[in-house]
Structure 1
Amino acid sequence: MLIKDYIQKLTPISDKDWEIFSAKLEKQIFKKNSLIIRSGEVENYLSFIETGIVRFWIDGKDNEITFDFAFKENFFSAYLSFLTREPTNWNIQALTPTVLWRISYADLQIIYKQTQTGEKIGRLAAENLFITAAQRKIALLTNTAEELYLMLFKEHLHIIQHIPLKYLASYIGVTPQALSRIRKRIS
């Protein structure tokens, strides 16, 4: 199971703790372009992507603004909402057919109490979410649109072809036409 392999890379987990943890996991399958969570809802899950790509976006004045993607073998969540138990102001969408392993907020609290490694796994997953968000913020502040595109291309070459250009353009802060010029220039 991919999620078990991922967790074991973070920290060793005993068979007993894995049994408790895995019993709380819910497998969910989302069709291409379906919403995983909508703006205005409270995030109830921390999710691990077994397969697929998800997109994070907010409604802008005239269009949707894509601000992040998550890929296979990563955790994701509308994490602020997950922690505060207040409605999120963004949407998360499955860009491709997506298989998730999810754990609810309530079940995660039980795991923290009943296992020896649960809190460590939770802390490490939270740290990874923070690192990803901080790196994205720094990249947006210090790189050109072309550099952002090249970084995404380099890190996710095998996946980027599945993301519509309008979402990639929004993600790096340019119009689809400007992204086409960037792609033409670097090819």
Structure 2
Amino acid sequence: MDKIKEYFESLVVMNDMDWEVFSAKLVKMEFPKKSLILEIGKTEQYLSFIEKGIVRFNIPKLDYDFTFGFAFENSFVSGYDSFLTQQPSSYHLEAITDCILWRISFEDLHTVYQTTTVGNLIGRKAVEDIFLKKMKRELTLLEDSAKTRYIKLMREQPELIRNIPLKYLASYIGIRPQSLSRIRKEIY
């Protein structure tokens, strides 16, 4: 729980009472590698902070598994559209490494919003983090070539290259694994 407290302290000044209210609502969950954190068709009930591990956002297809996002240690993860609307998710959240998550439920988050002085700010910071990552990915898919997207990943997110299977990386940058192999040969 220390990592999530450090994260919030880097963003907001949180008094002891607010921290106690918030931290009392957090539940620690561990997910083994390759387990589903959220399944398609299930409603997201949690906003989670990743203490350890990597989470993949994906839509499984019969012939191709489409990866459209990752979340890493010291960041928030959620099927946030499902969380906000309380409607079933149209994608999976999968632990691609062993993961430790600190989770707060939909109801408990709203309690924190109402009973603490910084609750709304905490929620806003979590959402801003998720939103900025999504926008950055969408813009690069629209503006950059596959080779440029891969080079940016190497430069900006080397943990992706080191820790994520190439088939997931290929899907994430919008190409097939064979195309990523060709791009890697050109670069190296």
Instruction: Give the structure-1-normalised TM-score.
Output: 0.96
Partner of 1:173: 174
Q: Does 1:38 find its partner at 2:39?
A: yes
CA drift at 1:114: 0.8
The CA distance in 1 between the partners of 2:62 and 2:141, in whole Å, is 20
Partner of 2:161: 160
Partner of 2:49: 48
- Cα shift readout 1:130-186 (whole Å, capped 9, x = no counterpart): 111111111110111111112222222245222111101111111111111111111
CA drift at 1:62: 2.4
Q: Does 1:107 find its partner at 2:101?
A: no
Partner of 1:8: 9
SS at match of 1:8: helix
Contact 2:35 2:95 in 1 (8 A): yes
Partner of 1:184: 185
Cα distance change of structure 1 residues 159 and 145 upon mapping to structure 2, 3 Å threshold:
closer
CA drift at 1:60: 3.4
CA drift at 1:18: 0.3
Partner of 1:69: 70
The CA distance in 2 between the partners of 1:82 and 1:112, in whole Å, is 15
Corresponding pairs, count: 187
The CA distance in 2 between the partners of 1:32 and 1:108, in whole Å, is 27
Partner of 1:29: 30
Q: Structure 2: state its 5+ residue gaps.
A: none
The CA distance in 1 between the partners of 2:46 and 2:82, in whole Å, is 10
How much identity, in percent, do the aligned residues show?
50
CA drift at 1:32: 0.6
Instruction: Give the structure-2-normalised TM-score.
Output: 0.96
SS at match of 2:163: coil
* Equivalent AA in structure 1 for residue 92 of structure 2: N
The CA distance in 2 between the partners of 1:28 and 1:153, in whole Å, is 30
Q: Structure 1: state its 5+ residue gaps.
A: none
* Equivalent AA in structure 2 for residue 174 of structure 1: I
CA drift at 1:61: 5.5
Moved over 6 A (4+): none
SS at match of 2:140: helix
